Amino acid sequence: MALKYLITGATGGLGEQTLAYFVANCPATEYAAASSRESNRKQFEDRGIAFRHANYDDPETLEAAFQDVENLLFVSTNVFDNVKRKRQHENFVAAAKKAGVKHVWYTSLSFGGLESTSKAAVQKVHLETEDLLKESGVTFTSVREGVYTEAFPVFINWFPTTSTISLPSDAPISFTLRTELGEATARLMIAGGHENEIVLLTAPEAIRPSEIVDVINKTTGRQVKFELVSPDEYVRLNGENDLGGKPRAFFEMTKSWWDGITKGELQTTHPLMKEILGREPVKASDAIRNLLTENPDFTWHQNYA
């Protein structure tokens, strides 16, 4: 019996949010959750959700998991080792092709908007994976997801005790709520279409880091300062004594993010997400204000330490 939708990365942030929409809106026979850990099976089956084991490092588990799947959500892995990440994605695409999956929905990233020229390290494997999908002959849609609003602390390296934000750019960023991206991705899959296309999901507003600092100060009563520094100074200042224990190498890597941001690679917004949701997505300034109102010490760094 064919499975209409398989959601990989179902224990991760975006995959979990996407699955939640299917659970709330579709018959349980139409979808299943997939995870790289067999040990996660019980938590899904206890909720009445079918489970498939799909370890990106183990092609046999992928081939078994993808059998009889019509629509497959391909959640990109979250490792920073691009060589390992590319190998995992190669395994995934090969298995999807071998299993005869009808449509792969790949979660890419919004660096460069709808262009494919970004040099940001974090975008490199996404572009390579899009090429893999094109070359494979599998029907696909690459969903370039806006960068998560919830991750604003790691982008600007802000902690509740930070007094000065030192960045190499104040260019706008189209931050988008992960909760809404999950819903929009699910709705996109259900609606179908966009075969062999790249689409862009973003909120309607791009916000500058200095404006984020203003929101922090107005919402929490803090007096955080913002300063522009050179890319090398950014690495030095943030890498020497990072409050979250991130190594200097992390900031050497994110320097390429800021190179792209300076060129405007994250400022593009697109109306597709509004069309899919049937409502205006939450603006970044409002979303950050809401996060900090709920928790003035909101942070995200534990995912990157």
The residues with which 264 forms a beta bridge, in sequence order, are: none
Q: What is the structure's pLDDT at 77?
A: 84
CB 96 within 8 A of CB 63: no
184-205 per-position pLDDT tens digit: 999 999 999 999 999 999 999 9
Provide the 8-state DSSP code for 109.
Answer: E
212-228 per-position pLDDT tens digit: 999 999 999 999 999 99
Decide if pLDDT at 66 tops 70.
yes
How many distinct structural domains can be found in the chain? 1
Q: What is the structure's pLDDT at 79?
A: 72
Task: Please give the average per-residue pLDDT across 25-34, as a whole number.
Answer: 97
How many whole angstroms from its chain centre is CA 84? 18
Q: What is the structure's pLDDT at 301?
A: 60
Beta carbons within 8 Å of 157's beta carbon, 6+ residues apart:
165, 166, 167, 238, 242
Is there a domain that residue 295 lies in? no
251-288 per-position pLDDT tens digit: 998 999 999 999 999 999 999 999 999 999 999 999 99
Range among 69-83, 146-160, 289-303 with highest mean pLDDT value:
146-160
Query: In whole angstroms, what is the distance from residue 168 CA to residue 172 CA?
Result: 13
What pTM was computed for the model? 0.93
Is there a domain that residue 263 lies in? no
CB 153 within 8 A of CB 225: no
User: How much is the mean pLDDT over the chain?
Assistant: 94
> With pLDDT > 70 as the criterion, what percentage of the chain qualifies?
98
Query: In whole angstroms, what is the distance from residue 202 CA to residue 267 CA?
Result: 10
Domain of 95, CATH number, reads 3.40.50.720
Q: What is the structure's pLDDT at 300?
A: 81
Is there a domain that residue 280 lies in? no
Task: Please give the average per-residue pLDDT across 119-134, as a whole number.
Answer: 93
Is there a domain that residue 121 lies in? yes
Domain membership of residue 123 as a residue range: 3-149+176-201
Instruction: Report helix angle 178-191 to 13-25, nearest 10.
Output: 50
Q: What is the structure's pLDDT at 12?
A: 85
Decide if pLDDT at 304 tops 60.
no
Query: In whole angstroms, what is the distance from residue 36 CA to residue 54 CA?
Result: 5
Is there a domain that residue 76 lies in? yes
288-302 per-position pLDDT tens digit: 999 999 999 998 865
Is there a domain that residue 57 lies in? yes
pLDDT band at 28 (very low <50, low <70, confident <90, very high): very high
Is there a domain that residue 50 lies in? yes
pLDDT band at 305 (very low <50, low <70, confident <90, very high): very low
CB 140 within 8 A of CB 196: yes
Is there a domain that residue 159 lies in? no
Residues 140, 179, 74: CA angle, nearest 5 degrees: 25
